[in-house]
Structure 1
Amino acid sequence: MTGKLTISEIMGQIQQNWPRAMGPETPVILGVIRLNDIIAEGTNRIVADYGLTQSSFEVLMTLRAQPVPRQLTPTGLYQALLISSGGMTKVLKQLEQDGLVRRVAHETDQRSRYVQLTDAGETMAEQAFDAVTVFESAVLSKALSRDQIAHLGETLLQALDPLERDRGT
């Protein structure tokens, strides 16, 4: 993030040059966007150390969060992630080549196959997750107490819940 104006500097410019655009939601939206950028930049570096992309990391995390045998259909994965179907195919092929997932037959639909996390994939998911969690915790702890982090999480979920329900997600 070096070389970028801080959110406070950006808001100062808005306040000075376009005060009508400075509503109560402005710091929230700008802050969420910048926090996402900071977390994504660090997370991308960490998962790359494990030979993963952000998309492949998300696939492993999604599969790891499933009950044993830790599998979903490609459609189920597509619905759980922000990856295009074409992008999903590419990610799954790479994860399969790396031995982190395997395709298994669907028990009732012979046209469909599950994507299942392998033991190596589960280990990789847990190791990468642990490293990412340490990073995310360190980033947030630089600015907020544990109680503030918990309160921020609750507030964001309160904001997102009705918005996601309205979208049908």
Structure 2
Amino acid sequence: MNDRAKLASDQWEKERPDIDSKIMALVGRLLEATSLIERDWLYPLASQFELHQGEFDVIATLRRSGEPYALTPTALYESLMLSSGAMTSRLDRLENKGLIERGRAPEDRRSILVKLTPAGLALIDKILPLHVANEQQALAALSQAEQRQLDTLLTKLLTGLHNVP
């Protein structure tokens, strides 16, 4: 493996010994790990089913919401941390593929609900076990104990990042 973060850190250490280049290497590794997992593991699996990763995220979010597998567009984009414009284009593509449908909410006719179609539900139920196995394989370099430790540390980091003013 070419440790680009270490190379960059070593270069900064030489050029600017007054800064903490080790922290730069750590953040670089986090970013590279995210990029590799997305590029080499998540995107290829979604594309096998003619989905973009973002489309997979939408149907997975609807599925995990429980029956009737329906949410408002606002609940969806807040759950996925997207802008409403990005959500609209994803929903348009998924509706064109017959995986979701948009309709009026029964309790509030002014509100729209996005719902998985039977085809969307069947597809996500088919993909989900493959997705979990894919994620397990992506993290296979770490033992179960190391995965739990990483999860704990990332949870702590994210909590701290969300609480920064």
Tell me how far apart the structure 1 counterparts of residues 94 and 38 of structure 2 sit (CA, whole Å).
Answer: 21
What runs of 5+ residues in structure 2 fail to find an aligned partner? none
For the pair 1:108 / 2:104, whether they are aligned, the reply is no
8 A Cα contact 1:55 1:83, kept in partner: no
- Which moved further from structure 2: 148-157 or 94-103? 94-103
Matches within 5 A, 1:11-30: 11-23=9-21, 25-30=23-28
2:33: which partner in 1? Answer: 35
Q: 1:127 to 1:11 in 2, by over 3 A?
A: farther
Q: Shift of residue 95 of structure 1? A: 0.8
Q: TM-score, normalised by structure 1?
A: 0.84
The runs of at least 4 consecutive aligned structure 1 residues that moved more than 4 Å come to none
Q: Shift of residue 165 of structure 1? A: 4.7
Identical-residue share of aligned pairs (%) = 27
The CA RMSD over aligned residues, in Å, is 2.2
Matches within 5 A, 1:46-85: 46-85=45-84
- Tell me which amino acid in the other structure corresponds to 1:33: L
Q: TM-score, normalised by structure 2?
A: 0.86
1:151: which partner in 2? Answer: 149
Q: 1:151 to 1:104 in 2, by over 3 A?
A: same
The C-alpha deviation readout for 1:19-76, integer Å capped at 9, x for no partner, is 3333553333112101110011021121111111111111111111102111110011
Secondary structure of 1:102's aligned partner: strand
Q: 1:123 to 1:15 in 2, by over 3 A?
A: farther
Q: 1:18 to 1:89 in 2, by over 3 A?
A: same
For the pair 1:160 / 2:158, whether they are aligned, the reply is yes
